[in-house]
Amino acid sequence: AQDEFVILCVARFQSVKNHHGLVAAFSQLAMQEPKCRLVLAGSGPLEQDVRRQCGDLKVEDRVLFLGEVPYEKLPAVYAASDVSVIPSLYESFCFAALEAMASGLPLVVTDTDWVPHLIGGDQGGRVVSKDRPAEMARAFMELLSSADLRRQMGERNRREAVEKWGWTSSAQKLLALYESKVRGKPIS
């Protein structure tokens, strides 16, 4: 519904992606806020376990499982969301985070090595401990409570994604790498 607070997670259902921690955090938020919804895009070996957990925590009616979403339809999924979450226990470079940033969304991410740097720490969202669902729930509540904060973070993320990770920037970085190889000098 238009007045719902929608949290999106685009990830394969495997243990490293930490859907169980995310659902635990969402269930805590759902107890406080009736107009929130969790949308899970992806598939994988743990999907049925996560569905059972949603039932056990009595949030199955507020969690939407989209399955595999074709790439060309993902922009509409991001556009229908208020916040994106990367709840991973480990994450290297994360395209789902960049997609959410390019879509102008704030993010809630776990304290993995790389993703917090993408969002500039608390500039583009909130960084939470990977093993503390209550902390993640508090971050969701903070973002739910302030449309202005979500807008500011989303604008920052969009700018960052376009300027540092867009096609032009990527092409310039690749060209600089090739030029450094031709000259035999490392790039700075």
pTM of this structure: 0.90
Taking the C-alpha atoms of residue 63 and residue 76, their distance in angstroms, rounded to an integer, is: 18
Mean per-residue pLDDT, 163-174: 81
Taking the C-alpha atoms of residue 91 and residue 36, their distance in angstroms, rounded to an integer, is: 26
**pLDDT for residue 31 is more than 80:** yes
**pLDDT for residue 16 is more than 90:** yes
Mean per-residue pLDDT, 64-74: 97
Residue spans of alpha helices (H) in the chain: 19-32, 47-56, 74-79, 95-102, 115-118, 133-145, 147-165, 167-183
